[in-house]
Amino acid sequence: MSSSQDRRILRTQKKLKAALIHLLKEGHDLRSLSVTEVAQQATCNRVTFYSHYKDLDDLLCTIFDDYLTELLTYFRESYQALGKISSTDERLHLAIFEYIYQNQFIFSLIIKGEMLPGSQNRFCDSLVQLTGKEIALKDDLPIEVPALSYYSTYASLGFFIYWMNQDFKEKPEVMAKKLTYLQSKVFQEAEVL
């Protein structure tokens, strides 16, 4: 496959993703949308759609995966520069709140989990995998890092849902400060591996 074909494939996939997002933002329900509607919005046809995705759920999963990958990259870059992370360091949480705030529509779909069943778990599992592999507790505690990661991530999920249900009223800095306060009651210091 040549480089120009690769670019065409990526361009078509980008157009299909943008088309689905556009239609969802307009208020269309995923279950009432057809592949034809999405393909027409993307200025392509059904055959082209099916050469890239098996159905609309597959396309939406790909969109979610793209955003989760970007979130993890953004989050990783924010704390790796710190070297040492403290539960009282708001910068750790701020990166996640900023990225979610910048991509409110998509993360409302992912985190509320109403559009695609299991998307909440995908969100949390992504964060758990990242923190479980790259963060270690400084103190020898009677609980394992993965257990703490799951606890922290799923507790944070509830906090994100609360924020979304409030229509993102508070700025990311305020929410990061609140979550940092809560997390500081649970964790001491952690270091990047």
- The whole domain housing 133 covers 56-192
Same-domain status, 122 and 156: yes
- Give the helix ranges, DSSP H, for 35-166: 35-41, 46-52, 56-80, 90-102, 104-112, 119-134, 145-165
Same-domain status, 92 and 139: yes
Same-domain status, 128 and 177: yes
pLDDT of residue 41: 98
Maximum C-alpha span of the chain: 58
Contacts of 81 by beta carbon, 8 Å cutoff, 6+ apart = none
Residue linked to tokens 């305020």: 174
pLDDT of residue 157: 93
Same-domain status, 74 and 140: yes
Same-domain status, 100 and 84: yes
Same-domain status, 82 and 161: yes
Same-domain status, 13 and 85: no
Mean pLDDT by 10 residues, the chain (193 residues): 78 98 96 97 97 97 97 86 71 91 96 89 90 67 79 90 96 95 68 50
pLDDT of residue 129: 84
Distance CA 23, CA 39 (A): 11
Number of separate domains in the chain? 2
